[in-house]
């Protein structure tokens, strides 16, 4: 396993390394609720569109195209609020999560059937699930919802497997780091949320 990881890292293309660096910058800046996270994330995702398509992960390619569009929206939304985004951490009602999870599962089942019959997708359901789940999680980030980090922990774990299985070890390593940062992000945003709803 370690040999496979080292071989994969040695074969890393420059574009993959740049995307990883920008992806890390995005996540670290998002934890701090800096609007510049969206610029780094948009550039990283633009590169990943190309890489995911070449790795036969069409839903991941489409997902990263969505990330590019969301980076424009996120930057605009957070710039509009300026410093207020840090104080605006909120939560989504449970009903919203139940609806979202049902929709994500249904959309994943439908798109995975299409991928299986029409493409050479390597992991149709997992690819679909991370795609639809990430669409929702990204919207949660843009809306400064606390629970986005919980979604990212689950989705990053699945994505780590997908990219490692397809030989993109450097991107897989990025998702391993994402898991750790997402945990820290949840704690940081939780403190901000608690300070707002439980003022001292």
Q: Which whole number is the average pLDDT over 106-124?
A: 88
Identify whether the C-beta of residue 40 lies closer than 8 Å to the C-beta of residue 75: no
What do you get for the CA distance between the two ends of the chain, in Å?
Answer: 50
**Rounded-to-integer distance, Cα 32 and Cα 56, Å:** 34
Q: At 167, is the secondary structure helix, strand, or coil?
A: coil
What local confidence, expressed as pLDDT, does residue 81 receive?
61
Query: How many separate helices (H) and strands (E) can be counted in the chain?
Result: 8, 0
Query: What is the residue range of 163's domain?
Result: 2-197
Question: What pLDDT is recorded for position 89?
Answer: 87
- Number of domains the chain contains: 1
CB atoms within 10 A of CB 82: 9
- Cβ–Cβ < 8 Å for 136, 155: no
pTM greater than 0.85 (yes/no) = no
Q: What is the dihedral of CA 77, 130, 104, 137, to 10 degrees?
A: -20
């Amino acid at each position: 396993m370690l040999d496979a990881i080292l071989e994969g890292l040695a074969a890393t293309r420059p574009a993959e390394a740049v995307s990883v660096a920008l992806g890390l910058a995005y996540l670290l800046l998002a934890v701090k609720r800096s609007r510049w996270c969206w610029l780094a994330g948009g550039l990283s995702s633009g590169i990943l569109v190309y890489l995911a398509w070449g790795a036969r992960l069409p839903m991941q390619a489409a997902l990263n195209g969505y990330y590019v569009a969301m980076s424009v929206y996120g930057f605009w939304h957070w710039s509009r609020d300026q410093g207020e985004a840090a104080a605006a951490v909120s939560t989504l009602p449970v009903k919203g999560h139940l609806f979202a999870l049902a929709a994500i599962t249904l959309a994943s089942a439908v798109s995975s059937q299409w991928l299986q019959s029409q493409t050479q997708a390597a992991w149709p359901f997992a690819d679909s699930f991370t795609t639809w789940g990430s669409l929702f999680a990204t919207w949660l980030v843009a809306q400064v919802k606390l629970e986005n980090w919980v979604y990212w922990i689950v989705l990053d774990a699945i994505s780590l497997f997908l990219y490692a299985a397809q030989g993109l070890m450097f991107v897989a390593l990025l998702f391993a780091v994402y898991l750790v940062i997402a945990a820290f992000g949840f704690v940081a945003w939780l403190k901000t949320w608690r300070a707002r709803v439980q003022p001292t």
